[in-house]
Chain A
Amino acid sequence: MQVIDARGLSCPEPVLLTKKIIDLHTHALFKVLVDEMAACENIAALAKNLGWSVSHDKTGDHIEITLQK
């Protein structure tokens, strides 16, 4: 599975990286790793707007977001 490591990146880079993958239309399922709740909320908002289902899981010091369409 494609995993984007967006940990440590400042706003809005995690969302931009996610959007890039979404726009490529090559993956129906991928994960994004972030370490800030704000980044997680932003990615979820963007993806839901574009019709993706989003779930997230806090593991250790980072958040793993799963996006599926």
Chain B
Amino acid sequence: MGNKSGILLTGFVIGIVSLLLTKFGNPPNMGVCIACFLRDTVGGLGLHKAKLVQYIRPEVLGIVLGAFGVSLGTKEFRATGGSNRIIRFILGFFMMIGMLIFLGCPLRVALRLGAGDLNALVGFAGLFAGVGAGTFFLKSGFSLGKASAQPKWTGFILPALSFIVLALLIIRPSFIYFSLNGPGSMHAPVLLSLAAGLIIGILAQRSRFCMAGGIRDLILFRNINLILGFLVIILVTLAGSFAMGNFKLGFTAQPIAHTEALWNFLGLGLAGWSAALLGGCPLRHLVLTGQGNTDSSITVLGLLAGAAAAHNFALAASAKGVPEYGKYAVITGLVIVLAVSLTAYFKTATVEGRETHASN
């Protein structure tokens, strides 16, 4: 549920940092977007060939490394994992497909809302419905099972990989791709982006910040702590957009967005549902990856694979709208997430068996 002051601070800093990054070169309404930036990074590594969205984003790498550093310091770093890895991979994959149909992660929903993009309101409704569906199954006993302690070095794998990818950005070997046009070509200076990522990683690790968790906790426990972070980001972005003269209320001609309401709703519905079953939004999984959770590492690999597929097979939306195959992919994802939810739902009795044991 997070601690309230930590959440407020994290939300405030994410809002400010996002405005700053946009001012110094990141794409509009995209100061920090986990989905977009993982997708760009996948493109930067040449794992998809969409020329407009290829750039290794230091923000997402910084988040993992920031969480890694702080969790080592607070001794919270623990290598754990081993619960239902393939299902996590698949849910991560479709979480990314859903987000790339909407064009943004839950964090970007707040950034887009703050800047007046009403398509994000439709997206938020979808996200709420999706997290609500996932929460229903969680309440009914859905579980991806128990993680257990893993050899310590396995927790270092993704933080080390993040460091290597960051090094590739700085060394710029010939096999790394850099967009010359489009969102991928728009970026703040590397050091600023990296610093932003590190700060967000540190704060989000300490406060347990999570966008999907905010909606889930509100539904489950009537607890508003986490969703306050969401609200703070919207308010900071709103104030910043007004101050910088970027505020534009409406549905049409919004930056890096489309107006297909049904698909904005279903895309984030799919993402929210997956996030609820996975125990967190993409940002939270980057943070957990940094603190040694290898189940979250698998989820992040699923997100990366989803991003590669979305652009290799022309599933991802663009400002022009949602391609036909993207719509099929969302429907497929919803069917799969429902199937995953139902298998656990009908196994509730077994789940009940493992949840308690009595002594004395």
Chain A interface residues (CB < 8 Å from chain B): 1-13, 15-17, 19-21, 35-38, 41-42, 45-46, 49, 61
Contacts and interface: CB of A to CB of B under 8 A. Distances in A.
Contacts of B143: 9, 13
Contact of A12 (B76, B138, B145, B225): B138
B39 interface: no
A17 B80 contact: no
B78 A35 contact: yes
Given A16-B220, A42-B1, A9 B146 contact: yes
B3 A46 contact: no
B357 A12 contact: no
B221 A15 contact: yes
13 contacts: A5-B357, A8-B146, A10-B295, A11-B210, A11-B213, A11-B280, A12-B213, A12-B216, A12-B217, A13-B143, A15-B220, A41-B3, A61-B78
A16 B217 CA distance: 10
B359 interface: yes
B343 interface: no
Nearest to A6: B355
B356 A2 contact: yes
Interface string B216-235: 11001101010000000000
A12 to B, nearest CB: 6
B146 A7 contact: yes
A3 B355 CA distance: 10
B356 A8 contact: no
B144 interface: yes
A1 B358 CA distance: 7
A45 B223 contact: yes
B146 A1 contact: no
